[in-house]
Amino acid sequence: MITPDRAGDDPVEAYLDAVLSNSPGTPRQVRRTLAEVEAHLADSVRDLQAGGLPPAEARAEAVRRMGAPVAAVDRPWPAGSLRLPRPVRRRLVLAMLQIGGLAGLFLGVAGAIAAAIQAIWGSTAIATAFPPGSYSQADCRRWLAAYPHSHGCVAAMISDHAFDFQRNAAAAGVLGVLLLLARHWLRRRWPGLPTATESLVGAGLAALCTLVFAATGFDAATVTRGQGVGQPVSLALAAGCAAVLLAGAARRSAGRPFWSRRA
Amino acid sequence: MKGDLLRGHLDALLLAALATGPTHGYGVIGRMRHTSDGELELAEGTVYPALHRLEQDGLLSCTAELSQGRRRRVYALTEDGERALAQHRAEWHRFSSVVTRMLMAATA
């Protein structure tokens, strides 16, 4: 047994101090390593004394056998390795699936909002026409064939553009749902990873998108007198919803007691 | 046998030491020393980061047990760990037979 006044001279105590001060991990990792190393040294000293070494020599020999204190601590990023540690890789995958999935899902929502705007104000609220001279007669024939009840080539072209936007938004929505399902499945397979940061980053990105699309919508409303304003407005509304939901998720996660913040 | 020679093989040696049953870090060292007849000169502290990494990779599982008044972390091979050990054994067998052939051919 080492008394506090002798601790400074004791190799075991000095070794444990060095392990503690060289540990770069989380508090839990550090406590775990220290507990394991301390138990290891206690066993080693006991066996060496049982083998005939005096107590002081047994303690010094046990420490010598451990090697450098820095070799006993976990390195979050192994020296010479460009490969990310597995928990970091998994968090990145989950974060990309979360942000990409929500982006796709809310693009789908934007498509639904655009469909509602189109139903009320018509296709010109969603899409604009190409400049005159930038399309051919063949293009016109194709658009009129797809929208035979349109009043001329320009109206058919705008209907086609509005349909394209809604089709692409619906495809993004389906893809988003698939990505979120994949994330849900992976989260069940990879328990114990924190998620609050990802939600906060996603909320920030969604808020930024809200501002950009709102500004684009305002620009469209003033420059084109409302033509095509439905696209940026629907995107801004969907991004705003995503920002609020993600901020709520981040806040709920951060508001939990610190020991239950993991997924 | 110096620890430098073990570089790159520590994971396989740890998995092999745990193949006979679960034990804690000191027990792993004891098994390695016993099996090698004291030939391995391994800095014992290096075992812990390697055990933690193998646990993170899903090759080992870890449970806490109370032993002689101390809370000990006991490691055991998982199914993935058993598969990894079998793979290490096969690779080592191929590698050692090639090196042996080459070294012996040089003296023949």
pLDDT of residue B94: 92
pLDDT at A81: 57
> Cα separations (Å) of A150 from A134, A185, A248, A256?
20, 46, 45, 57
Cα-Cα-Cα-Cα torsion B25, B26, B27, B33, nearest 10 degrees, comes to 110
pLDDT of residue B107 exceeding 70, the answer is: no
The CA distance from A183 to A167, in Å, is 24
If you measure CA to CA, which chain B residue comes closest to A74?
Answer: B49
What ipTM is given for this predicted complex? 0.84
Integer Cα distance of A31 and A48 in angstroms: 26
Phi, psi of A88 (to 5 degrees): -70, -45
Amino acid A147: pLDDT: 85
Give alpha helix (H) positions in B36-78.
Answer: 47-56
Residues A189 and A97: beta-carbon distance below 8 Å: no
Cβ atoms of A209 and A239 closer than 8 Å? yes
Q: How confident is the model at residue A178 (pLDDT cuts 50, 70, 90)?
A: very high
Report chain A residues whose CB lies below 8 A from the CB of B46. Answer: 67, 71-72
What's the pTM? 0.52
For A220-237, what is each residue's pLDDT tens digit? 778 777 777 888 888 899
For the record, the structure tokens of A218 come out as 């305002």
pLDDT mean over A126-136: 79
What does residue A85 show for φ and ψ, rounded to 5 degrees? Answer: -60, 155
**What would the DSSP string read from start to end of A96-146?**
HHHHHHHHHHHHHHHHHHHHHHHHHH-GGGT--PPPTTSS-HHHHHHHHHH
How much is the pLDDT for A127? 82
* One-letter identity of residue A217: G
Question: Torsion angle of alpha carbons B41, B44, B46, B49, nearest 10°?
Answer: 150
Contacts of B57 in chain A (CB under 8 A): 86
A110 neighbors A209 (Cβ within 8 angstroms)? no
Q: Using the predicted structure, report yes or no on whether residue A2 has a pLDDT greater than 50.
A: no
CA dist B12 and B18 (Å) reads 10
Q: Do A32 and B24 touch (CB under 8 A)?
A: no
Q: From the candidates B6, B24, B26, which should be mutated to test the interface with A, based on the most A CB atoms within 10 A? A: B26
Q: Find how far residue A81's CA is from the centre of its chain.
A: 23
Closest CA of chain B from A49, distance in Å? 16
Determine the 3-state secondary structure of B67 from DSSP.
strand
Q: Does B65 score more than 50 pLDDT? A: yes
pLDDT of residue A69 exceeding 80, the answer is yes
Reference A61, options A71, A53, A69; nearest CA is: A53
Phi, psi of B8 (to 5 degrees): 95, -15
Contact A39 B57 (CB under 8 A): no
Q: Reply yes or no on whether the pLDDT at A85 is more than 70.
A: no
**By percentage, how much of chain A surpasses pLDDT 90?**
23
Answer yes or no: do B70 and A33 touch at CB < 8 A.
no
**What tens digit of pLDDT does each residue of A95-112 get?**
889 888 988 998 899 889
